[in-house]
Amino acid sequence: MPAYQIVQMATTNAAKALGMEGALGIIAENALADIILIDTQKPHWFPIHDPIAALVYSAKASDVSLTIINGQPVNPNPLPLMLAAQEVADATKRRF
């Protein structure tokens, strides 16, 4: 299946399936402002000949650098959460 078709399935076609065509799955005025920013400067992204194919076939969850839901940044800097998770893990090891 072509990469472009996979992106369409995850965006505009998903919005249609949810009955929210025109509000989801697009970047447009008055659409819900949900988007992710992806760090494409990691080695597994290179070379990028086709950005859509690279997104579909090379992206990893850890490449997401920012998530915006309904216009609001969600966890714009994942590092503190990772540090907090490590602190919890270390505290658990000490306790048990």
At 88, the amino acid letter reads V
Q: What is the pLDDT of residues 57-90, one digit of tens each?
A: 999 988 988 888 888 888 766 555 555 666 777 7
Give yes or no: residues 75 and 50 share one domain.
yes
Give yes or no: residues 7 and 45 share one domain.
no
pTM for the model stands at: 0.67
At 61, the amino acid letter reads A
> CB–CB of 63/39 below 8 Å?
yes
Look at 42 and 91; give whichever has higher pLDDT: 42
68 - beta bridge partners? 35, 73
Tokens of 25: 């799955």
Domain count, the chain: 2
Q: What is the pLDDT of residues 13-61, one digit of tens each?
A: 999 999 999 888 888 888 887 888 899 999 999 999 999 999 999 999 8
Give yes or no: residues 68 and 24 share one domain.
no
Give yes or no: residues 18 and 37 share one domain.
no
Q: Which domain holds residue 43?
A: 33-96
The whole-number pLDDT of residue 66 equals 86
Q: What is the DSSP letter of 71?
A: T
Give yes or no: residues 38 and 9 share one domain.
no
Tokens of 63: 């490449």
